[in-house]
Amino acid sequence: MPTPAPQLNRRDFTKTTLLAGAAVAAGAATALGEAPRRIRTGVIGCGSVSGSYLPVLSKCPFVEVVSLCDIRPERARKRAEEFKVAHHYPHIDAMLAGEPFDFLITLTDMQEHEHLNRQGLEAGKHVWSEKPIANTLAAGQELLRLAQQKQKRLWGAPITVQSPQFAFMARTLAQGALGRVAAAHADYGHEGPNWSSFFYEKGGGSMPDLGVYNLTSLTGLLGPAKSVTAMLSIVTPERAITDKGQIKVTEEDNAMLLLDHGQGVISHVQSGFNYFNPHGHDGRGEQRHTITIVGSGGFLGLVGYDWAPQGVDLATHAQPKLERHAPDAEGYIWQQGAALAAECLVTGKELLVTPEQALHVLEIITAARASQATGQRIALASTFKWPLLS
């Protein structure tokens, strides 16, 4: 681990970094006596989501983005120009052999993460990966072993467990305010991306792209799952993709999972690429409860998506009328995961996001596929440290 530097608390960090920008961030650091160390960072994958990550990274006081990489070199060049990054490369080998850096952020097609993350760890880099960290649980566990052996850190998106709304729900459950917890439901979908085919090909699908958010939130709130039963289907067998034309959809674009969290608690997660959703990637438009949890003594409803939550409605025996809580994002945005990881690398401040939970969610997704294929309920072997309380 790097030498710990003075800490900014999460609220100060997110405010300074994300709301007020680099100048104020530098000011806050100076107020603490010294500027934080910036971790030298390389970003691989310069497509759509890099446009969400790079604005945050370029303002983060703990990050210096030194190189970018994409197998479509024009994309890396354009992003380098846009975000004033000195070096860009057309291949990971060239990136690893080029300008030195310590922290790799993987934002490529889902199917590419596993081998790129492995190469990054083998080269002695800390790694933040978009989801999934790997294509199978076994491969993901191998990556985690490699990280531990190299004394490097490995994390994966999403970061729904970092939001103040998640914290409110986790605290409310831990206090027993819902009585005997019985059931939960979560759903997330839209009409499906049209810019890349990998979302619909082997290793893609609505579960690793969309269901993963709800699975992270619900296992984070209710605990690791013991088993899963699922039904998956393909509703739209062909899609039109920009630059590619018609493609065949081979992975689920419609998924229903039932999870057994133990002690009688059952949850249901649904995700799909055929969901009418006028809000698209603008989470602020969604006002309904996308996660609900009910127990013998109360009800919790998360307002909006778990990646862009807007509050939590709570009703209990003592207060049966729904009341809105945690309406403030406190600087939380879904795009900040790699920046929070960099903060951890520099200051030692730990995240609630862990690779163990990301691998548990990956096991749920692969088990759901086995359940669909066999018609069986599938037992899960992996787990993670729980509860997640901040």
Ligand X SMILES: NC(=O)c1ccc[n+]([C@@H]2O[C@H](COP(=O)([O-])OP(=O)(O)OC[C@H]3O[C@@H](n4cnc5c(N)ncnc54)[C@H](O)[C@@H]3O)[C@@H](O)[C@H]2O)c1
Point out which residues bind ligand X (CB under 6 A). 44-49, 52, 69-72, 75, 92, 107-110, 112, 116, 130-131, 195-196, 209, 281
Instruction: Give the integer Cα–Cα distance in Å for 313 and 51.
Output: 32
Using an 8 Å Cβ cutoff, are 373 and 182 in contact? no
Contact criterion met (CB below 8 Å) for 52 and 43? no
Query: Which residue, 332 or 386, is less far from ligand X as judged by CB?
Result: 332
In the complex, what is the shortest distance from the CB of residue 299 to ligand X, in angstroms, rounded to a whole number? 29
For residue 125, what are the contacts with CB-CB under 8 A and spacing of at least 6? Answer: 42, 101, 102, 103, 104, 152
Q: Shortest gap between Cβ of 130 and ligand X (angstroms)?
A: 4
Q: Nearest approach, Cβ of 119 to ligand X (angstroms)?
A: 10
Least distance from ligand X to the Cβ atom of residue 108, Å = 4
User: CB–CB of 206/273 below 8 Å?
Assistant: yes
Residue closer to ligand X, measured from CB, 28 or 114: 114
Whole-number minimum distance, CB 93 to ligand X, in Å? Answer: 10
Which helix (H) or strand (E) segment holds residue 267: the answer is strand 266-272
Q: CB 273 → ligand X: shortest distance, Å?
A: 12
- One-letter amino acid at 66 equals V
Does residue 158 have a cis bond before it (omega within 30 degrees)?
Answer: yes
Task: Provide the pairing of β-strand 63-69 with 39-44.
Answer: parallel
Q: Are 127 and 120 in contact (CB under 8 A)?
A: yes
Which residue's CB is nearer to ligand X, number 131 or number 153?
Answer: 131
Phi, psi at 81, each rounded to 5°? -65, -50
User: Could you tell me the two tokens for 288?
Assistant: 């309904």
Nearer to ligand X, 168 or 213 (CB): 213
35 vs 49, beta carbon nearer ligand X: 49
CB nearer ligand X, residue 130 or residue 252: 130
| Beta strands at 154-156 and 181-189: parallel, antiparallel or unpaired | unpaired
- Cβ neighbour number for residue 5 with a 10 Å cutoff: 17
C-beta of 193 vs 220, nearer to ligand X:
193
Minimum Å gap between C-beta 33 and ligand X is 36
Q: By Cβ distance, which residue is nearest to ligand X?
A: 47
Minimal distance, residue 72 CB to ligand X, in Å = 4
Tell me whether residue 338 or residue 345 sits nearer to ligand X (CB atom).
338
Helix crossing, 212-222 with 355-374: angle to 10°? 110
